[in-house]
Amino acid sequence: MFRLFGIGALVFLAPMFAMGQSGSAQSIFSVPGTHCQTPKWSPDGQEIAIEMFSPKKDAREIVIVKLNERHHSVSETMVSVGHSKSSALLGGGKDLVVELAWAPDRSQLSKPYIFSSLGPRKNFDLFADGAWLTTNLGNDGQPAWSKDGRYIAYVSQQSESGDIFLLDLQGDIEKPIRATHYSNSTEYRPQWSFDGSKLLFTRSTESGRGQDVGIIKDVTKPRESSQMIVKWASDEIRPSWSPDGQRVTFYSNKSQKNKKHFDLWVANADGTGAKKLVSDVVVADVNGAVWMPDGANILFVKRDFKRDNPVSWVAADGKARGRINTNTQLNSDLDLHVSGGRVRLAFTAHGLKGADMKTWRQVFVLEIKASDLK
């Protein structure tokens, strides 16, 4: 179920920084010999959490990069179960830290995030602000914090399969609420709607019929309000909410002869009106497509090797589409931050176009304007 079992320690190397050309994306973080991936904006847009994966050691850690207004890094801090450590001071063994989720309000915690790490029982548990929130026999991970700050959804492997549980921070956090109750399946990757009332998840069945997208319409009544949005005889993965919570995008291989290839679909939150928007997209490890704040357009990465897998956009009604000029190659892992009228995209790429070093993924940031989607 989880991607990150049996990982080792990572030796941190000092980051390198590169400026993009005028009007193009800017590289904010890279480490030689390491994939820097799955960027996650903090809610205030001041920091980005980045997973660092060393394939040679099968090791993963998380670094938090603080940016100034010009998207220059002003500090890098490793996430740790113990006290925070500056990357320049790291040495020796380090904590196994994975799957970070930001708190919606920075004032809630002295360190405003939750993550999964090896706990007292030597399996993965949830940790936040100096304390273990779970200490189960099975692995706990993939936390997602509701936008109103009340709930933390996560996946718990307390039985042979995985289920989604909720920690009610206004209730008894010693008694997590089981949110999914499907038999012979694993539910994972919880995703909150922007108003914090509904929850998306993906279900993988043991029968081998594929993966499906589901919704919990009312988290106060999860058993009664659960519904599968799509349950086709194919794989539907990486769901993402529209800003108004009325629609959902997801990737599906329903129409593909090669089941490793996926298309971008959109559907109403009740499962009606499913429509394929784009054929052949790049499927990131964690993130799905991202919606622009007005809900009119959706950003994704097109699987097009001739154009180095460009960051692209499509209208939510499918009537218009185009590419965004990032000046980068082999893109993936989109994450969007919106503040006022400012829209910033964080993503990964294998360097600027034409760069000789295409092996390792870097994290880039690009400010998007309305004119970029015409």
- DSSP letter string, 295-314: SSEEEEEB--GGGTS-EEEE
Q: Mean of the pLDDT values across residues 359-372?
A: 93
Query: Is the pLDDT at 50 greater than 80, yes or no?
Result: yes
Examine residue 44 and state whether it is found in any structural domain, yes or no.
Answer: yes
Enter the pTM of the model: 0.89
**The total number of structural domains that make up the chain:** 1
Span between the terminal Cα atoms of the chain, in Å: 40
Alpha helices, DSSP H, located in 168-255: 222-225
Q: What backbone torsions phi and psi does residue 227 show, to the nearest 5 degrees? A: -155, 140
pLDDT, tens digit (0-9, with 9 covering 90-100), for 178-204: 999 988 899 999 999 998 889 999 999
Instruction: Name, in order, each residue with C-beta under 8 angstroms of 9's C-beta and a sequence gap of 6 or more.
Output: 57, 59, 93, 94, 96
In whole angstroms, give the CA distance from residue 304 to residue 282. 9
Is 103 among the domain residues? yes
Using one digit for the tens of pLDDT, what is the confidence trace for 72-131?
A: 999 999 998 874 443 333 344 466 899 999 999 988 888 999 999 988 888 999 999 999
Question: Which ranges constitute the DSSP H helices of the chain?
Answer: 222-225
**Is pLDDT of 15 > 80?**
no
Q: In whole angstroms, how far apart are CA 204 and each of 15, 82, 332, 335, 361?
A: 38, 35, 24, 25, 29
Give 144-166 pLDDT, tens digit per residue: 999 999 999 999 998 768 999 99
Percent of the chain residues past pLDDT 70, beyond the cut: 90
Q: What is the pLDDT of residue 94?
A: 61
Percent of the chain with pLDDT over 90: 70
Q: What is the pLDDT of residue 137?
A: 83
Residue 21 clears pLDDT 50, i.e. is over it? no
pLDDT band at 208 (very low <50, low <70, confident <90, very high): low
Residues 6+ away with beta carbon under 8 Å from 89? none
- Residues 125, 127, 130, 136, CA torsion sign: negative
Element housing 155 (H / E)? strand 151-156
Spatial strand order of the sheet with 321-323 comes to 290-291, 297-301, 311-315, 321-323
- Write down the mean pLDDT value for the chain: 88
CB atoms within 10 A of CB 77: 17
More confident residue, 294 or 89: 294
- Is residue 118, in this structure, part of any structural domain at all? yes
pLDDT digits (tens, 9 = 90+) for 234-264: 999 999 999 999 999 999 999 888 989 999 9
Question: For residue 146, is it within any domain?
Answer: no
Please give the pLDDT value at position 5.
28
Is residue 58 predicted with pLDDT exceeding 50? Answer: yes
Instruction: Give the C-alpha separation, 4 to 19, whole Å.
Output: 32
Task: Provide the residue range defining the domain that includes 113.
Answer: 1-134
Asked whether residue 5 is domain-assigned, the answer is yes
Q: Report the distance separating Cα 367 and Cα 67, nearest Å.
A: 14
In a domain? residue 80: yes
**Is residue 13 domain-resident?**
yes
**Could you report the per-residue pLDDT of 305-363, keeping only the tens digit for each?**
999 999 999 999 999 999 999 999 999 999 999 998 899 999 999 999 988 778 899 99
Is a pLDDT exceeding 60 seen at residue 2?
no
Token digits of residue 82:
């113990």
